[in-house]
Structure 1
Amino acid sequence: MAEYDYDVLVIGSGPGGYVAAIRAAQLGLKTACAESRETLGGTCLNVGCIPSKAMLHASEYFEAAAGGAMAKLGVEVTPKLNLGAMHGQRLDAVKQLTGGIEYLFKKNKVTWVKGLAKFQNAHTVDVGGQTVTAKNVVIATGSSVTPLPGVEVDNSKGVVVDSTGALELASVPKKMVVIGGGVIGLELGSVWRRLGSEVTVVEFLDQLLPGMDGEVRKEAAKLFKKQGMDLRLSTKVTGVTVKGKKATLTLEPSAGGASETLEADCVLVSIGRRPNTEGLGLEAIGLELNKRGQIETDPDFRTKVDGVWAIGDVIPGPMLAHKAEDEGIAVAENIAGQTGIVNHAVIPSVVYTMPEIAGVGLTEEQAKEAGHEVKIGKFPMLANSRAKTNHEPDGFVKVVADAKTDRVLGVWIIASVAGTMIAQAAQAMEFGATSEDIAYTCHAHPTHSEALKEAAMAVQGKPIHI
């Protein structure tokens, strides 16, 4: 029987990879993790989820102080932006959390092998010039920014940037254009709008936030316009030229038509992400990609190559950190001979703007397309007592239920704490809850979550507060 250096080698230390490595080690498997960055945590902890939330949170405080929201509460201040300090708290959060992963690796006896990984065969991987063998190899290399053809990103200049560069801007651009009306573009665009930028969002489709419920998409557009964003929907960018510290974009209608130009001090290219599979040497093990550049797996996360597994952004499904984390736990348990399962029908998604936007399960449109007869319950945050006292009236909760069985098919929320509220909906759906189950569950008062209870009551036509 062949002997290997490790039972498990995980390639990549993002949310999927580091969780898979820790869980495998907890299950008694000798585990290593290959990572080429100077710090662990992947895109999410280093230049994605975590630093963006640090900037979102800080910019919310600035806008609350500058925009008069605090004055409504009897707190009168005149804010002064210290962008350097704002960046500093972001970097500190990243340092603490990436250092925390390194601590957890040491605590659980996970070996960090530093360097880029490339397959030699299914059980042998070159990591930065070091040969590492493993009985099982988990590909968890995540994703990177999708480039826009003909548009050159140079984060060092700060004129045409991607999401990484947008976190590092040394000053507040007077005019920012965000190419792409998805989650990342709207979040980072919100940061700089709050800090003083004039933000224009250019989206190829006729609505923002593809994949979300139709009513949520329409309401989100209204709210972003109300906040001062200029939305250019059904519009495509055909070119970007840079001269000095200015960029000129060429735009035209998505369906074709006359072009126009738009000037900006900063252009954020945010049209999506693509799987990180280049340079892994997948051809050496006979592992091919699907048409979307992803690695196909079975429900247990096995690839077609024996001993090679894959999770996270490199496989089909939403590119979300928490999806990758759950898959990391599941793949480790499957490797250890246990039963690791991820219910991909109940993966929540959140947009961390203000208000937040969150959803889980099917949209109303998807439910109907799937053949369900649906009943809808909605409740406005304006009628929620806690939202009222907090001066957070925007948004609503929408429950999509099967009309025959009352089983909850999806929940969609726009609210200041929608990202927290959606966890209850996800848990309810995981247990097969009906709208009546949620409606008859006692909710603490006064809380934002009462809006979910009322929306569930509205499915049966009996909300109390509207």
Structure 2
Amino acid sequence: MTDRRTDVLVVGAGPAGYTTAIRLGQLGIDATLVEADAHGGTCLNRGCIPSKAIISAASVAHEARTSEEIGITAEVDVDFEQFTRWKDRVVRRMGKAVEKLCKANNVDLVEGRAVFEDRHVARVLDGDGTELERVEFDYAVLATGSRPVELPGFEYDHPSVLDAADALSLSSLPNSLVVIGAGYIGMELSTAFAKLGVDVTVVEALESMLPGFPPALVEPVESRAGELGIDCHYKQLAQDWRETDAGLVLETESADGQDQFEHEAEAVLVAVGREPVTDTMNLDAIGLEPNNDGFLETDDQCRTDVPHVFAVGDVAGEPMLAHKGSAEGEVAAEVIAGRTASFADRAVPSVAFTAPELATVGQTVQEAEDAGHNPIQGEFPLRASGRALTTGHTDGFARIVASEDGRVLGGQVVGPEASELIAEIALAVEQELPVEALAETIHAHPTMAESVHEASANALGRAIHTLNR
């Protein structure tokens, strides 16, 4: 056992944690990054990256099978084992890149689980709980991420009961799958598996899919889900399940408790949300306690109630998004280095990689009105986009929301490449740009990005390729 001394102990090497450590290294501060599992965290290893890999692969297969309208027909064979090997190579490559970047920025990497002994000392334990070393630190940054919420009776210790990580690690495709939860994780994976030919049923306790996203954005996704054969059942609560010779039967109950239903499938995927991981570090030793929602509360500088302890990423609260955690990590590093930095009023885009994609940032029209604005808005339908027409995907729109004096307050996009298009709107919101800045910026033609330009022009009453409001 050895002892280690460091300026900053970073606990957790997901996007929030490794970003913090790398930025600290760039600022000349000694940082030690402790990770109990794999560098890159859930995002890289069991979430964002592998899920987008399967989404991309599924879209390729689906496009090849369904392009008769443009004169392309194909017999498509999906070698899922080969896909899995490719996906795993992508994950390994990115994991090694994270390690390389950390080392290049003089970050000390330590394998094990950090458990606090007191406010300035942590023990590092291996998987068996054996102490490997003690680390003394001046500051600590907590970035332990989140894990899937487990429904009572649906524990993940049975091969037919899957969480998202299990679904992304399957060695073969099931013929049928029932998904509990129609949030963005549930719908992303439902869409991908449906495109790969799996018979997908979705059960959701609420009255619609993708709660939290504006209904107008969700409508094209719900329509496409139906076209893909995804069978969605709303206002149903999962109660129990039982094994059968063909797989399992999911037993559900209506939200009012009046009716019972059964859904057959080979496996069930539980995707009802994620919860912060705060129970692995012995937070009592540093005087921290999660709030009623399980998160560690922080101020605008990502500092907890304990002045020398920071929290970033999923443990620090909603939205639980990798890019939000990375941005928080940079703020924490800057503050520790004595620089001026704040996470207050940052524009954080939210994206669902469904079919079609949808994305939002800043305020909706309703939110702008609730904030006391008399907002103006502009919208451009993708059916009027030349580039969208050439892809064969014209469902959706781009929308810009601006204040009465023309400052961009937010925007929403649903359609192809919405995850990319939202970046321009996020920049405008973050920098408080006038909507004229977007409308007067020349966008290349023909591109999907023109939809943002046209929506901005529409807000000003001078769009060319759609009727002005």
Q: Same fold (TM over 0.5)?
A: yes
Structure 2 residue corresponding to 1:86, chosen from 77, 80, 83: 83
| Conserved? CA contact 1:360–1:422, under 8 Å | yes
| Conserved? CA contact 2:195–2:228, under 8 Å | no
Mapping 1:235-314, distance limit 5 Å: 235-243=236-244, 246-314=247-315
Deviations 1:85-122 (A, max 9, x none): 11111000000000111111221111111111111111
Following superposition, the deviation at residue 72 of structure 1 comes to: 4.4
One-letter code aligned to 1:118 = V
Following superposition, the deviation at residue 344 of structure 1 comes to: 4.6
Structure 2 residue corresponding to 1:139, chosen from 121, 138, 142: 142
Mapping 1:314-393, distance limit 5 Å: 314-393=315-394
- Range that drifts further, 408-417 or 11-20: 408-417
One-letter code aligned to 1:117 = A
One-letter code aligned to 2:81 = G
Aligned length: 458
Where does residue 409 of structure 2 map in the other structure? 409
Deviations 1:35-91 (A, max 9, x none): 011x31100011110111111111111111122x2x545544321111101111100
- Structure 1 SS opposite 2:96: helix
1:343, 1:447 → 2: CA distance?
A: 33
Following superposition, the deviation at residue 171 of structure 1 comes to: 2.4
One-letter code aligned to 1:84 = E
- Range that drifts further, 196-205 or 41-50: 196-205
Following superposition, the deviation at residue 345 of structure 1 comes to: 4.2
| Conserved? CA contact 1:207–1:218, under 8 Å | no
Deviations 1:132-162 (A, max 9, x none): 111011000000001112222236x2x2100
Q: Does 1:42 align with 2:70?
A: no
Where does residue 156 of structure 2 map in the other structure? 153
Q: Does 1:24 align with 2:24?
A: yes
Deviations 1:413-448 (A, max 9, x none): 111111111100000111112323211221111110
One-letter code aligned to 1:233 = Y
- Structure 2 SS opposite 1:346: coil
Q: Does 1:115 align with 2:84?
A: no
For structure 2, list consecutive stretches of 5 or more residues without a partner in the other structure.
126-130
Deviations 1:167-224 (A, max 9, x none): 1223222221111111111111111111111111111111211221221123322222
2:213, 2:345 → 1: CA distance?
A: 16
Following superposition, the deviation at residue 376 of structure 1 comes to: 2.5
Where does residue 128 of structure 2 map in the other structure? none
CA RMSD of aligned residues (A): 1.7
- Range that drifts further, 169-178 or 72-81: 72-81
1:23, 1:286 → 2: CA distance?
A: 26
Where does residue 453 of structure 2 map in the other structure? 453
2:71, 2:257 → 1: CA distance?
A: 52
1:412, 1:191 → 2: CA distance?
A: 23
One-letter code aligned to 2:15 = P
- Range that drifts further, 410-419 or 225-234: 225-234
One-letter code aligned to 1:315 = A
Following superposition, the deviation at residue 365 of structure 1 comes to: 3.0
Following superposition, the deviation at residue 237 of structure 1 comes to: 1.4
Q: Does 1:186 align with 2:191?
A: no
One-letter code aligned to 1:80 = D
Following superposition, the deviation at residue 313 of structure 1 comes to: 0.3
For structure 1, list consecutive stretches of 5 or more residues without a partner in the other structure.
none
| Conserved? CA contact 1:6–1:134, under 8 Å | yes
Q: When the two structures are superposed, what TM-score results if normalisation uses the length of structure 2?
A: 0.94
- Range that drifts further, 40-49 or 367-376: 367-376
- Identity across the alignment (%): 39
Q: CA, structure 1 residues 345+365, in 2 after alignment: closer, same or farther (shift >3 Å)?
A: farther
1:244, 1:114 → 2: CA distance?
A: 43
| Conserved? CA contact 1:142–1:276, under 8 Å | yes
One-letter code aligned to 1:291 = N
| Conserved? CA contact 2:409–2:432, under 8 Å | no
2:119, 2:448 → 1: CA distance?
A: 50
Where does residue 441 of structure 1 map in the other structure? 441
Where does residue 96 of structure 2 map in the other structure? 99
Following superposition, the deviation at residue 288 of structure 1 comes to: 1.1
| Conserved? CA contact 1:9–1:34, under 8 Å | yes
Q: Does 1:162 align with 2:163?
A: yes
Q: When the two structures are superposed, what TM-score results if normalisation uses the length of structure 1?
A: 0.95
Following superposition, the deviation at residue 260 of structure 1 comes to: 1.4
| Conserved? CA contact 1:160–1:247, under 8 Å | no
Where does residue 13 of structure 2 map in the other structure? 13
Q: CA, structure 1 residues 234+373, in 2 after alignment: closer, same or farther (shift >3 Å)?
A: farther
| Conserved? CA contact 1:213–1:365, under 8 Å | no
Deviations 1:271-298 (A, max 9, x none): 1100010121011122111110000111
1:83, 1:44 → 2: CA distance?
A: 22
Q: CA, structure 1 residues 287+171, in 2 after alignment: closer, same or farther (shift >3 Å)?
A: same
| Conserved? CA contact 1:240–1:248, under 8 Å | yes
